[in-house]
Amino acid sequence: LPDIRDGLKPVQRRILYSMNKDGNTFEKGFRKSAKSVGNVMGNFHPHGDYSIYDAMVRMSQDWKNRETLIEMHGNNGSMDGDPAAAMRYTEARLSEIAGYLLQDIDKNTVPFAWNFDDTEKEPTVLPAAFPNLLVNGATGISAGYATDIPPHNLAEVIDAVVYMIDHPKAKLDKLMEFLPGPDFPTGAIIQG
């Protein structure tokens, strides 16, 4: 399940942190996805390369995310369910908006914990300068729990958050003037 503070599952957080740490950011060239997957698996997430690559691919799919956190060159799958090309064929880097999730991470803004083999520290949550959980939504299943949060428009979410900061006791009806409903990346018609 994702953490409400940054909207990320542990594997997603580890991918973004590792790519940022390696300088694999939006203003630089793309790197082989296999290199990023190897760095994540070796340093932070020893649970197999497929789960890491699958999470990386999902964060790059603009039909699943309102704001993609990874930019990918090559075949990253399709809306029809076609799988992505193998990681040796694709290249990836952080998207520009992913930088806002990682902004000021080096300034003691979030807690860090030791990684699986106590050789390096990793963030337990990202600073997240925007509410990623609302913007990109989330789906997940855990023991006894499940979540399915739809994505929302970034500008509408920011407007609602600013209003909520200025009016902490705001009612739902007022917030819905700013955030009227979900905003699916492929469009949708809500009925009922």
- Give, in degrees to the nearest 5, the angle at Cα 138 between 162 and 55: 120
Mean of per-residue pLDDT scores for the chain: 96
Quick count: other Cβ atoms within 10 Å of Cβ 24? 21
What pTM does this model have? Answer: 0.94
Whether 190 shows a pLDDT value over 80: the answer reads no
What pLDDT sits at residue 191? 81
Whether 189 shows a pLDDT value over 90: the answer reads no
Q: 93 falls in which pLDDT band (50, 70, 90)?
A: very high
Q: What is the mean pLDDT of residues 20-48?
A: 97
User: What is the Cα gyration radius of the chain?
Assistant: 17
**Residue 112 is inside which H or E element, if any?**
strand 112-114
Active-site residue numbers? 89
Q: Tokens 């580890």, residue? A: 14
In this structure, are residues 92 and 24 in contact, taking their beta carbons and an 8 Å threshold? yes
CATH number of the 10-123 domain: 3.90.199.10
